Structure 1
């Protein structure tokens, strides 16, 4: 009787541990690395020689959808690391993108993005650097 009670207790502990692991895995990623980028005015310098772009960062998440800034898109976090995040997103009208952001310092990051915007493909890499306060 004692052996069967111990075995039952072990089973309960194992099942509870697995359930706790599933609950932790089901939580949404925080993308906390983006919050470690300093808020303010940032300049994007594109590697292909396109004109530089200015952007005001409040949370760092503005870098995710640079080609779909005013679109409401659903996001799926692929990587949520301490110094790099990758997010895939889908917007209405068959527009989508996948962006990777690598933090070098609080005021310097590397951005790579590709997808479809306005029915046309896009792909770019850029250096994002904080230049001051937002205007």
Structure 2
């Protein structure tokens, strides 16, 4: 229930910012935390589960902003930047017809991040705690 309240608050805040005269929600692509991340093949592994319930998800990252939308990887979504620091970023996003979410990303190195994401995808809630690690070049 708590994540729903946080999610709703983030979505409402994003809508207010987007409606401000002459203003628009900041874009995730220009976020400070994403600047140093390396492009290439990344593995996203579940944290805190032994053994992991699923195999790691492999993602070819051409734009590090992809890591801010792991709950809706292929959806076209509008994003609102909640936090933008050199080692931490947070966004809320709304995907027309596909749901919404919030992602918090912490940068450990240019090849290692911690991702916490939650939201609703295709009518069902999700909560992800992932470690993202660059493992090589894209195939």
Residue 97 of structure 1: SS of its match in structure 2? strand
The residue number in structure 1 matching 2:117 is 113
Between Structure 1 and Structure 2, how many residues are aligned? Answer: 111
How far, CA to CA, are the matches of 1:94 and 1:66 in structure 2? 13
TM normalised by structure 1 equals 0.76
Distance apart, 1:83 and its partner CA: 0.3
Higher relative contact order (CA 8 A, sep 6+): 2
* Unaligned residue ranges in structure 1 (runs of 5+): 1-24
From the superposition, tell whether residues 26 and 68 of structure 1 become closer, same or farther in structure 2 (CA, over 3 Å): closer
Distance apart, 1:27 and its partner CA: 8.6
TM normalised by structure 2 equals 0.74
Runs of 4+ in 1 over 4 A off after TM superposition: none
Instruction: Report if the CA contact (8 A) 1:101-1:109 is conserved.
Output: yes
The residue number in structure 1 matching 2:26 is 28
From the superposition, tell whether residues 72 and 51 of structure 1 become closer, same or farther in structure 2 (CA, over 3 Å): same
Residue 72 of structure 1: SS of its match in structure 2? coil
The residue number in structure 2 matching 1:41 is 41
Aligned CA-pair RMSD: 1.8
The residue number in structure 2 matching 1:4 is none
* Unaligned residue ranges in structure 2 (runs of 5+): 1-22
Residue 66 of structure 2: SS of its match in structure 1? helix
